[in-house]
Amino acid sequence: MSRVISFENVSFSYGRNKVLEDIDLFVEKGDFTAIVGPNGGGKTTILKLILGLLSPQKGELKVFGQSPCKSRIRTGYVPQFSVHDRSFPIDVENVVMQGLIGNTSFGPFYSKNVKKKVADIIEKLGLTQRMKDRFGDLSGGLKQRTLIARAVVSQPELLLLDEPVSSVDSSVEKDVFEMLNLLNKKMTIVLVSHDIGFVSKYVNKIACVNKTLVIHNAGEITSGIIEDAYRGKQVAVNHSCGI
């Protein structure tokens, strides 16, 4: 397998607050990796480093064998869900179209090729019947599907997601992960999550981060339920890293 992401001895601080300390993280092509840990433990910071929005203060970070900034065009990103203005006049089709702005001129006119790409991904993610609906009127689950469609319409090789199900009902959570499982057949996925119970069914690696980082293969995940630092029921991971 070829390596997609490589953190070697990476540290990062916000001022005097050290968030990551000497972490190693390796993600191979085709991996589905979940990053878990308590709030403030460094999960979102890792995604920002992969995107090149932040730079390591120590250590080496490569994405597709080069600097993250140079690899950004090969990466799709779904940020944490945010509240959108319901009155803003943008429909599902045009939200997804935003994922191709870097590949085409910005404006009301798009080529037939661009429109076909958008229509294809909208169909693949089950949004065809809603493509003309106002984005602000959608349910949380449909909004998340739309944002994922926007991230993958350009056919990235790497997909990053920050808490992709934090704003959806539990009944929608499985649906989102089933969709990500299908996307994983064509792209490497790294996501931040608190819900270890759900992600453990789909991912092949779990990275536990709380300033330091320990990564586990799926075979190390057990079905034991515990109350831990995540303040809820979780699937136990067979390790003693203390994270």
Q: What residue segments make up the domains of the chain, in order of their start?
A: 3-237
Cα 177 from chain centroid (whole Å): 11
- Distances in Å between the Cα of 92 and the Cα atoms of 73, 81, 127, 129, 239 are 23, 15, 8, 10, 43
DSSP assignment of 184-241: TTTSEEEEE-S-HHHHTTT-SEEEEEESEEEEEEGGGEEEEEEE-TTSSEEEEES---
CATH 3.40.50.300 fits 3-237, yes or no: yes
Q: pLDDT at position 125, please?
A: 86
- The residue ranges of the chain whose pLDDT is under 50 are 105, 223-236
Q: pLDDT at position 20, please?
A: 96
Tell me the residue type at 102: G
Report residue 186 as tokens. 């064509």
Question: What are the residues whose beta carbons fall under 8 Å from the beta carbon of 155, sequence distance 6 or more?
Answer: 186, 187
Q: pLDDT at position 38, please?
A: 86
Q: pLDDT at position 45, please?
A: 95
User: What distance in Å separates the CA atoms of residue 62 and residue 6, rounded to the nearest whole number?
Assistant: 5
Name the nearest CA neighbour of 129 among 147, 110, 142: 142
Which H helix or E strand runs over 60? strand 58-63
Q: pLDDT at position 113, please?
A: 83
